[in-house]
Amino acid sequence: MTTTRLTVVVDNQAGDGLIAEHGYSLWIEADDRIILFDTAESKCLQPNCRTLGLDLSRVTDLVLSHGHYDHTGGIALVLAEAGRPQVYLHQAALQPRYVLRNGTTIEPVRMPERSMQALDHLPGEAIHWLTRPTQITDRIGVTGPIPRLTSYEDPGAPFFFDQLGQRPDLIEDDVSMWLRTETGLVICVGCAHAGIVNIVNEIVRITGERRIDTIIGGLHLLHAGPERLQQTVQALNGLDIKRLVACHCSGASAVDYLAQHLTCQVIHGHSGLSLSF
């Protein structure tokens, strides 16, 4: 297999010389492809790419984990730089979405209008609607919707389709990526709204590969209670996982808990973090 390299371009935490925002974007180099997994909010994407020596015009594929603004804000910028990459997303990513903040205020979190307009200008053959698992190359794939099978995992916050908070949104457009390497799977998640245990189990089912070298991305455990954390640890410890890189929305205290109780290595992610396989 050829070398695979992953670089966190945007995260809530920034490495030296980089800038941070509430968002996430991961650069993936594998199989002669340059895949951008999410685009963050947009303010940090281009400056951080320049600092890291990453050329957005080389992007061949854009994968969107879900339709929230902090993962899709840079779509127009990427498409302007890269031209016409292949784009992978679930159709529900285009829906209006809201979140309840602090139990009192409902705020919009949908994909920005400029991002939707940029997608609308793409030719139909450039867009892949993720209704089922889809291969980008023989060893790189994107899930479709993730079955919600665990009783203790939820989207991570009170999300809604309406501004009145009457129609719950389970973020059914939440999708993840996998890459096969010689040392096992590399699993890339955006916010893991489907639940990290559900995601990992589904990718193991799809691929038939039980060895997991690395899980990287946001885990959305910042609001998780003790029971969910305990059951998450128990489930993950039952899998063959070497390393977990927690980014973006994982929650610092939750990551500390995982580091204390998981048998695998746990790392706090940040922009500029690079991994090779």
First-residue to last-residue Cα distance in the chain: 9
Contact 114, 9 (CB under 8 A): no
Average pLDDT, the chain: 97
Contact 144, 130 (CB under 8 A): yes
pLDDT band at 91 (very low <50, low <70, confident <90, very high): very high
d(CA 252, CA 44): 21
Closest CA to 2 of 139, 143, 134: 139
| pTM score of the predicted model | 0.97
Read off the pLDDT of residues 200-249 as tens digits, 9 standing for 90 and up.
Answer: 999 999 999 999 999 999 999 999 999 999 999 999 999 999 999 999 99
- 3-state SS of 103-136 is CCEEEECCCCHHHHHHHHCCCHHHEEECCCCEEE
Contact 277, 4 (CB under 8 A): yes
> What six digits make up the tokens of 80?
């302007």
Average pLDDT over residues 94-100: 96
Average pLDDT over residues 18-29: 97
Looking at the DSSP bridge assignments, the partners of residue 141 are 135, 178
pLDDT at 2 over 80: no
d(CA 19, CA 51): 10
pLDDT at 1 over 70: no
Contact 202, 231 (CB under 8 A): no
pLDDT at 40 over 90: yes
CA atoms within 13 A on the CB side of 84: 8
For residue 55, the SS3 value is: coil
In the numeric block, the tokens 């193991």 are attached to 204
In the numeric block, the tokens 């479709």 are attached to 144
- Looking at residue 62, its amino acid is L
d(CA 188, CA 214): 8
| Per-domain boundaries in the chain | 5-276
In the numeric block, the tokens 């059951």 are attached to 231
d(CA 71, CA 93): 11
> Domain 5-276 is classified in which CATH homologous superfamily?
Ribonuclease Z/Hydroxyacylglutathione hydrolase-like (3.60.15.10)
Read off the pLDDT of residues 50-79 as tens digits, 9 standing for 90 and up.
Answer: 999 999 999 999 999 999 999 999 999 999
Q: How crowded is residue 235: how many other Cβ atoms within 10 Å of its Cβ?
A: 18
